[in-house]
Amino acid sequence: MASTSDIKNGVVLNMDGQLWTVIDFQHVKPGKGGAFVRTKVKNVMSGKVVDRTFNAGAKIETEVVDRSEFQYLYKDLDSYVFMNVADYDQITLTEAQVGDAANFMLENQNVTLALHNGDPLYVELPASVVLEITYTEPGLQGDRSTGGTKPATVETGYQIQVPLFLEQGTRVKVDTRDGSYLGRVN
């Protein structure tokens, strides 16, 4: 058992028999009354995000989650195959376990897998990845570097919004949390 002072981003809690990971937390000490911890937690299996509040000093149940480096090998129908870079063991994850990370993963890319008692929970990606634009409409005469955006498909098949001046074949940095365009990469 742990207390609310152990709550940090990335900690996995066991609440009502389900695993929840802390996305955001804030310790609050109001002028009147006792302190409390306001958290935003995400269900590891379903991806549902909820807000939970804990009284300061309350006992919470945390779970040990191992994070290991794996290499994404390939997609096989509706599953994804990863290889542990330490011992070369392969592991298969479903589309639900991979979630939105599939939009930003390239074959042979290293990712971090969160494991609980040897069972894979979810895929952690870096904050941003570099992807190449495979298709976008050509810009029109008079397009400026500031202003509007247009849809572009990146090499994973995911569609993002990019500035009008970008062309097919350009490498761009993409935020893995929300899929937003962060800039051009040479």
Q: What is the pLDDT of residue 143?
A: 54
Q: Write down the pLDDT at residue 144.
A: 61
What pLDDT is attached to residue 75?
Answer: 92
Condensed to tens digits (0 to 9), the pLDDT of residues 112-157 reads: 998 888 888 888 888 899 999 999 988 765 656 556 788 999 999 9
Q: Write the CATH number of the domain with boundaries 128-185.
A: 2.40.50.140
Tell me which of 119 and 182 has the higher pLDDT. Answer: 182
Question: How much is the pLDDT for 95?
Answer: 87
Q: Over pLDDT 70: what percentage of the chain?
A: 96
Domain topology for 66-124: OB fold (Dihydrolipoamide Acetyltransferase, E2P) (2.40.50)
pLDDT (0 to 100) of residue 152: 93
Q: In Å, how far from its chain's centre is CA 13? A: 18
pLDDT band (50, 70, 90) for residue 180: very high
CATH of 2-63, one of 3.40.50.1950, 1.10.10.10, 2.30.30.30, 3.30.2130.30: 2.30.30.30
pLDDT in tens, 39-55: 999 888 777 889 999 99
